[in-house]
Amino acid sequence: MTDAAYDKDIDNGPDNGNDAALKRSMYAAAVNMLALREHSEKELRDKLIRKFANRAALDEVISRLIAQGYLSDSRFAETAVRHYAGKGYGPGRIRMELRKRGVNPEEQEAVQNLSADDFIARARDLAARKYGSIAEMDFKQKRRALAFLARRGFSGEQCLRALSMSDEDFGADM
Give the residue, 81 or 1, on which the prediction is more confident. 81
Task: Work out the average pLDDT over 33-53.
Answer: 91
Residue 105 and residue 44 in contact, taking contact as beta carbons nearer than 8 Å: no
The model's pLDDT over 92-146, given as tens digits with 9 standing for 90+, comes to: 898 899 999 988 877 776 666 677 788 898 899 999 999 888 888 888 999 999 9
Angstrom distance (rounded) from CA 174 to CA 163:
12
Task: Work out the average pLDDT over 61-72.
Answer: 92
Reduce the secondary structure of 115-148 to three states and give it as a string. Answer: CHHHHHHHHHHHHHHHHCCCCCCCHHHHHHHHHH
User: What is the pLDDT at residue 17?
Assistant: 55
User: What is the pLDDT at residue 13?
Assistant: 46
Mean pLDDT, the chain, whole residue set: 82
Nearest CA to 43 out of 72, 1, 18, 7 is that of: 72
Helix (H, G, I), strand (E, B) or coil at 91: helix
Asked whether residue 173 carries a pLDDT value surpassing 50, the answer given is: no
Asked whether residue 171 carries a pLDDT value surpassing 80, the answer given is: no
User: What is the pLDDT at residue 12?
Assistant: 44
Question: What is the reported pTM?
Answer: 0.72
Residue 49 and residue 36 in contact, taking contact as beta carbons nearer than 8 Å: no
User: What is the pLDDT at residue 147?
Assistant: 94
Helix (H, G, I), strand (E, B) or coil at 39: coil
User: What is the pLDDT at residue 89?
Assistant: 92
The model's pLDDT over 7-38, given as tens digits with 9 standing for 90+, comes to: 544 444 444 557 888 889 999 999 999 999 99
User: What is the pLDDT at residue 33?
Assistant: 93
User: What is the pLDDT at residue 110?
Assistant: 64
